């Protein structure tokens, strides 16, 4: 089935509200546990690593990371004003959590991370993203951003949806995973599955970007995990 792109940014307040109110806690927990597994043997996590969460949305994953790795400086990056507003509002409501003091949100497009002038050039110890890559129309800009912002040896963990083979499979996954969900969420989830990439496509982008140490795995019925490090 051919890829059908969707809007890159999630800016519609109703769409943001539906996303923020949805309960993705199981998949978020699984993502952060897998990240913990990946980071287990890295001693720099004992110091003050810089962790970037790309396409952070309302901050679901950024918050979990900041709570789990309390010495880390965590930046959540998203180019949707509405998402960043909601993320900052949630942070403000939780301002007694000391772990959130080292969590900062930035409104920024991933494409701006590809330039020499990028605020994060060669800075990141760890780079993560969850459910972002399918939004980006030109995936080569995403992988070139990863190289630009990584320190030598930076660890990467990216999880995204995987495009099914047929539209029937899309509907099947949607029905299995979104029971009694608001219409807007069902619409967006369907659009996201159609906009997602296959493992083979992602392997091709990584090879074209000249990245050697990122591996691509199928995860469950609908995810792709991209795990490894970038040396430069």
Ligand X SMILES: C[S@@+](CC[C@H](N)C(=O)[O-])C[C@H]1O[C@@H](n2cnc3c(N)ncnc32)[C@H](O)[C@@H]1O
Residues in the site for ligand X, rule: CB under 6 A?
8-10, 55-57, 60-61, 78-80, 83, 109-111, 130-132, 135-136
Question: Smallest distance, Å, CB 16 to ligand X?
Answer: 8
CA angle 6/7/9 to nearest 5° reads: 135
Question: Smallest distance, Å, CB 57 to ligand X?
Answer: 3
Judged by beta carbon, residue 21 or residue 168, the one nearer ligand X is: 21
Residue sitting closest to ligand X (CB): 57
Judged by beta carbon, residue 30 or residue 111, the one nearer ligand X is: 111
Structure token digits, residue 230: 């970038």
> Ramachandran region of residue 109, left (φ > 0), alpha (ψ -120 to 50) or beta?
beta
Count the Cβ atoms, other than its own, within 10 Å of residue 99: 17
Question: Smallest distance, Å, CB 55 to ligand X?
Answer: 3
- Residues 144-175 as b/e (b if ≥16 CB within 10 A, e otherwise) read bbbbbbbbeebbbbbbbbbbbeeeeebeebbe
Judged by beta carbon, residue 51 or residue 110, the one nearer ligand X is: 110
Judged by beta carbon, residue 61 or residue 74, the one nearer ligand X is: 61
Question: Smallest distance, Å, CB 143 to ligand X?
Answer: 13
Judged by beta carbon, residue 112 or residue 213, the one nearer ligand X is: 112
Torsion of CA 45, 46, 50, 56, to 10 degrees: 60
Question: Smallest distance, Å, CB 18 to ligand X?
Answer: 11
Rounded Cα–Cα distance for residues 50 and 185 (Å) = 32
């Amino acid at each position: 089935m051919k890829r059908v792109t969707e809007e890159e940014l999630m800016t519609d307040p109703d769409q943001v509200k539906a996303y923020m109110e949805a309960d993705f806690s199981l998949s978020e927990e699984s993502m952060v546990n897998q990240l913990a597994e990946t980071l287990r043997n890295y001693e720099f996590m004992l110091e003050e690593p810089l962790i970037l969460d790309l396409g952070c949305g309302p901050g679901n994953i950024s918050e979990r990371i900041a709570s789990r790795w309390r010495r880390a400086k965590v930046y959540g990056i998203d180019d949707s004003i509405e998402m960043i507003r909601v993320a900052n509002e949630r942070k403000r409501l939780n301002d007694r959590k000391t772990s959130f003091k080292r969590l900062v949100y930035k409104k920024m497009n991933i494409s701006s991370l590809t330039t020499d002038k990028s605020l994060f050039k060669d800075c990141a110890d760890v780079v993560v993203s969850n459910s972002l890559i399918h939004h980006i129309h030109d995936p080569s800009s995403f992988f070139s951003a990863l190289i630009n912002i990584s320190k030598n040896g930076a660890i990467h963990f990216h999880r995204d949806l995987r495009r099914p083979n047929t539209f029937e499979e899309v509907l099947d996954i949607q029905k299995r995973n979104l029971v009694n969900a608001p219409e807007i969420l069902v619409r967006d989830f369907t659009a996201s599955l159609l906009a997602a990439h296959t493992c083979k496509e992602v392997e091709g982008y990584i090879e074209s970007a000249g990245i050697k140490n990122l591996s691509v795995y199928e995860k469950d019925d609908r995810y792709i995990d991209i795990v490894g490090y970038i040396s430069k």
